[in-house]
Amino acid sequence: MHFIMNLKNQKRAELLIFFQKLNENKSDKSFNLNQLSLFLWYQYQIYSVMKKIFLAAFLCICVNGFAQLIQIGPQISTNITSVNTNNFSSDHTNTGIGFAAFARVNLLLFYGQGEFGYSKSNFSVYQDGIGETEFKLAGTDASLIAGYKLIPLGKAGNVRLFVGYNWKNYSDISKNNNLNSIAFEKNNHSIIGGVGVDVWKLTFDVRYLAGLTDIDSSNGEIKTGITNFSLGFKFL
């Protein structure tokens, strides 16, 4: 009836008479064209409003579904890097940090995730009779991950298992002295295995990166093993 109140007085009166005749069930139902037009206009207004309501509800459902399907956000990480080598008497692990952005696509109990960022890693090698040298490697870091939600808890979170691939490009390589030397290969490829937990919008991951690349381009052999701890925030 809200639409009727917005009509001019004469037209509103004609439409009310039309409804009264319908309710009285009179045999004479010969209404004029103006009354019929008003009735059809009234029906169209109701249809238009209902269509807008259904469209708004549909858009809300779509937005919520999209937020559950695709999630993006930043993450920070810390890592512990060790090396597997026979070139030196011993080696020591050191810690590094990383920053990245991630995008996750959820498919029921499975998900895929891509990450791209910048990371730093450190390790030391020691040679008898020479001494110890610390190496710092930094550069682009990218990962592709496929995972399974072991304990799905909906919006509250989940527990995940995942595997994947990591690529590092060392654009900045430095060392604290010249006692030991390594001819570094700048691209390092690794396979990933790990476990993660999501709580609300926070995501925690623990992963191990087993190096496949011999990063010593000389006659020696050095492969990295990196334990990584990360914390991310999902905007969606």
pLDDT tens digit at each of 236 positions of the chain: 444 445 455 555 555 565 565 555 544 445 555 556 666 666 666 767 776 676 666 555 445 544 568 999 999 999 999 999 888 888 889 999 999 999 999 998 999 999 999 999 999 999 888 999 999 999 999 999 999 999 888 778 899 999 999 999 999 999 999 888 888 999 999 999 999 999 989 999 999 999 999 999 887 889 999 999 999 999 87
Claim to verify: residue 38 and residue 95 sit in the same structural domain: no
Per-residue confidence (pLDDT) for residue 3, from 0 to 100: 45
Claim to verify: residue 16 and residue 101 sit in the same structural domain: no
* Tally of domains within the chain: 2
CA dist 220 and 214 (Å) reads: 8
Per-residue confidence (pLDDT) for residue 180, from 0 to 100: 87
State pTM to two decimals.
Answer: 0.72
Claim to verify: residue 172 and residue 123 sit in the same structural domain: yes
Claim to verify: residue 82 and residue 101 sit in the same structural domain: yes
The DSSP bridge partners found for residue 223 are: 84
Claim to verify: residue 97 and residue 199 sit in the same structural domain: yes
Domain span at 43: 2-24+32-66
Angle (nearest 5°) at CA 134 between 120 and 187 = 45
Give Cα separations from 119 to 30, 89, 138, 158, 171 (angstroms).
83, 27, 6, 27, 11
Per-residue confidence (pLDDT) for residue 192, from 0 to 100: 98
CA dist 147 and 234 (Å) reads: 17
The domain that holds 155 is classified in CATH as: 2.40.160.20
Claim to verify: residue 188 and residue 225 sit in the same structural domain: yes
Claim to verify: residue 8 and residue 78 sit in the same structural domain: no
Claim to verify: residue 43 and residue 122 sit in the same structural domain: no
Q: Which of 221, 225, 228 minimizes the C-alpha distance to 204?
A: 228
Instruction: Read off the tokens for 34.
Output: 């103006």
Claim to verify: residue 180 and residue 213 sit in the same structural domain: yes
Claim to verify: residue 16 and residue 113 sit in the same structural domain: no
- Count CB-CB contacts under 10 A for residue 67: 14
Per-residue confidence (pLDDT) for residue 35, from 0 to 100: 59
Per-residue confidence (pLDDT) for residue 2, from 0 to 100: 47
Claim to verify: residue 126 and residue 210 sit in the same structural domain: yes
CA dist 101 and 38 (Å) reads: 58
Claim to verify: residue 11 and residue 127 sit in the same structural domain: no
